[in-house]
Structure 1
């Protein structure tokens, strides 16, 4: 390894080396467990005798900062003291801003591998057992070959052309989206798409209209940019358009599968929303996060397909159809904001990683994605049906399901008073992960209940998990 040490002159060589290594270890620049170069190699690099280096290593070993391992080398001792940070956040000029960011809640943060429970009803997660690993591996190998042939330059901020072409064909087929390749920007998940759009549309104090209840990470993002988020109630037809305030600059909606309640936006309400946005000069973000999984009724096209005035930005993600860890999403941009979003994307991260982009392009073009969606659709439909049966059966004394025809989560509203916090805590003690609905309500009255995701839990685990939930409900009355 290369170790950054600078020796000045020919005096006190051992002392210079000792002081620099001691400071590097004490400051944490050389982390516990880091291996130091062999004494002969370091001596050659510094132009000093090997004895100087060996004596310095011996001194630091005696002091407990280094440890020698026979046959392996010299390492920074794992018990080396860690430096105390002298400055705290309150000492900084930006302390107020830091406190604002730290105070943001994380209602949809997924558990780590170590904290995952045996039975997880978390929303937005998929079952790893359904992931087509063999097909994805073949596509990744093809992507590596393509990258090896490239020039080594940065890629385009809008994304790899092959992937944008594949996305355009896929969403036209599956969601009726009307777009060309050039309308699409590939992003690091849907969340980055929201961030980029908000960056170019909003200013501090701008009004954003959002469904309430609604997707909290989007709300927090808009608020972090200094926007005023106006909560707009929803009913069985979707967002109540007549309550979108004057002066609104951005409207965020989930029309195909309202998050978190689940009902689709009706056709008259969609038409009214498009007209209202045009009158306001506002941009609509249509977050179409999981509507490729539809179980009942006639398919509904995207809101974007109805847009004749260029006010809708369609945002999609592959986190729900494939894996969240891939962090691949996209935005279909209307002409008015296309150029600005591209500049924001380039300034933010230059472009998304090209390896998964090339892999996904082949995955879609070879038909693997549609096959995977059809396979998952069958699995999710079975899980959904079983949960609905339980909610209509032995759990009906406490909960009722909100009618929903798409996605892989549902809302279960309380029919009688239930201590949801206590239920969730007791469920965790028996390895069942439950999640409250109330965290997605902001200004409208809270409707207590649970958001039940069925993407991550295995079908055979549903009944044992819900048996435990039923027993807890009986226990707490």
Structure 2
């Protein structure tokens, strides 16, 4: 790689070279320990005499900015610590108000993502890395790699046809979704699907309804669009449809496994929500993020499968079932939205990662994805049972665990009459190497904890809950 030096023939060459090298070192662009190009090589790159380069290096060595190591070359020295300069006054930009609004968006889950996991961490929505099918995935990825370059240089904005076919077949089988491959748009995680839907459906001043407590990133997306958000309460039957505002353009819901409370939307509420959407003309975003992990009862109908008018956009993700790092999700687009969403997707990123899409299509077509889901359900089921036993025994004096039919997190509520600061409890638990997550991070709602069991092994759950019980016992 060439060193970025620009020489103006009209100025003294040696001074220019010395000044620029000195600036690169003092600014940190040439870090301590970095090796400078050999004088012969740099002279050839810049079209200068080698002696000019050598003199500049000698001067830098005298200034103790570099050191010459016999037989190895010249290296940047560590600079002495300097007094911290006062922060520069940021430039006043015409879009300052808009920039400030984005900087002020509430992103509590970003803080969670930035923090390292505890030894026993009940973080929600994070799958067990050890369950990832490494051998199968490597085989399909190698096959996809060999095929790379044989077809078009770009995948369609909607995704590779083979993957769209596989997704359509899977959601029809597993979730009762009515669709064909033409309705599937592959996205970079569910997050991009939400972003596309929000961009297409709402603008400044439009009303959007969402569950409360609910998924914070969706709230932030709507606020970034300038929409007016209408939080709608959740009870034991899910979203309270009678509280939906008539003027809403969209409503976001997690009917199979409400985030974060874990309840499933009742059949009456599902039909009520679809009837409300028919009257209001709104679009329903159905987030089906982890319902494929089902532990009891018969699968409930998806909203999309019950929808006879094309008002439900069904969003799924492979981040929960396989790995977040794959960044693969999808939206089953209603016919009225399909073209607009495709245009928005093309403008956002042209197309997704063809290599990963090809590997996933192969994995699903061979039956590997269904086998993987069965393995995950068995393992998460064991963890769920241990968690439920622990709350019935170790934590029974303080917390009640809400049952959830599906998903790999449950919610624990503090018992009435107790005055426990969940935020302080979480901080104390972190010192004991246990990760706890207060429900208040997810908006207004009951006081308690979100208990994910994707990252805590079954044999570790008793130990982790025992530490939490010890903290609660001391606090009481």
TM band (smaller chain): over 0.9
SS at match of 1:108: helix
Report matched runs for 1:66-85 at 5 Å. Answer: 66-69=66-69, 72-79=72-79
The alignment status of 1:94 with 2:87, answered yes or no, reads: no
* Structure 1 position 435 matched with structure 2 position 471: no
Aligned-pair distance for 1:50? 1.1
1:108 matched to which residue of 2?
109
Give the distance between the partners of 2:475 and 2:321, measured in 1 at CA.
37
Aligned residues of 2:290 and 2:321 also touching (Cα < 8 A): yes
Q: Deviations over 1:161-190 (max 9, x none)?
A: 221111111111111111111211111111
Number of equivalenced pairs: 473
Query: 1:204-219 residue pairs with structure 2 within 5 A?
Result: 204-219=204-219
Instruction: Please list the CA deviations of residues 87-120 of structure 1 after superposition, one character each: whole Å capped at 9, or x if unmatched.
Output: 5447434333333322333322375698321110
Aligned-CA RMSD value: 2.2
What's 2:467 paired with? 468
Q: The residue matched to 2:265 in structure 1 has which SS? A: coil
2:394 and 2:466 in contact (8 A); partners too: no
Instruction: Give the aligned partner of residue 203 of structure 2.
Output: 203
Task: State the Cα deviation string for residues 277-313 of structure 1 (Å, max 9, x = none).
Answer: 1211111100000000001111113111111111110
Give the distance between the partners of 2:109 and 2:143, measured in 1 at CA.
Answer: 34
CA contact (8 A) 2:107 2:220 kept: no
- Equivalent residues in 2 for 1:16-95 (5 A)? 16-69=16-69, 72-79=72-79, 87-89=88-90, 91-95=92-96
Between the aligned partners of 2:3 and 2:181, the Cα distance in structure 1 is 48
**Contact 1:130–1:376 (Cα < 8 Å) also in 2:** yes
Counterpart CA distance in 1 for 2:421 and 2:210 is 28
1:116 is paired with a residue whose SS is coil
> What are the equivalent positions in structure 2 for 1:165-244 lying under 5 Å apart?
165-244=165-244
Q: CA deviation at 1:155?
A: 2.4
Worse-matched range after superposition: 13-22 or 243-252: 13-22
Checking the alignment, whether the CA contact within 8 Å between 1:158 and 1:184 is kept in structure 2 is yes
Gaps of at least 5 residues in structure 1 are none
Secondary structure at the counterpart of residue 109 of structure 1: helix
Alpha-carbon contact 1:66-1:74 (below 8 Å) kept: yes
Secondary structure, aligned partner of 1:205? coil
Residues 257 and 406 of structure 2 are in contact (CA less than 8 Å); yes or no, is this contact kept in structure 1? Answer: yes
Structure 2: stretches of 5+ with no match in the other structure: none
C-alpha deviation, 1:133, in angstroms: 1.1
* Secondary structure of the corresponding residue to residue 340 of structure 1: helix
Kept in 1, the 8 Å contact 2:105–2:223? The answer is no
Tell whether the 8 Å contact from 1:89 to 1:95 is kept in structure 2 after alignment.
no
Q: Distance in 2 between matches of 1:132 and 1:67?
A: 50
The Cα of 1:429 is off from its aligned counterpart by: 0.8
- Is the alpha carbon distance of 1:340 and 1:28 closer, same or farther for their aligned partners in structure 2, counting shifts above 3 Å? farther
The equivalent of 1:158 in structure 2 is: 158
TM-score by structure 2 length? 0.94
Q: Check conservation: 2:436, 2:449, Cα contact below 8 A.
A: yes
- CA distance in 2 between counterparts of 1:345 and 1:30 reads 39
Q: Does 1:135 align with 2:136?
A: yes
Aligned to 1:124: 125
Deviates more, 1:327-336 or 1:140-149: 140-149
TM-score in terms of structure 1 length? 0.93
More deviation in 97-106 or 222-231?
Answer: 97-106
State how far apart, in whole Å, the 2-side matches of 1:307 and 1:412 are: 33
Q: Is the 8 A contact 1:136 1:359 kept in 2?
A: yes
Retained in 1: the 8 A contact 2:261–2:411? yes
Give the structure 1 partner of residue 422 of structure 2. 420
Q: 1:418 to 1:362 in 2, by over 3 A?
A: same
2:355 is the counterpart of 1:342:
no
Deviation at 1:216, TM superposition (A): 1.1
SS in 2 for 1:211: strand
CA distance in 2, matches of 1:32, 1:348: 39
Per the alignment, residue 296 of structure 1 pairs with: 296
CA distance in 1, matches of 2:443, 2:120: 25
Report how far residue 31 of structure 1 moved: 4.8
User: CA–CA distance in 1 between the matches of 2:424 and 2:218?
Assistant: 28
CA contact (8 A) 1:65 1:80 kept: no
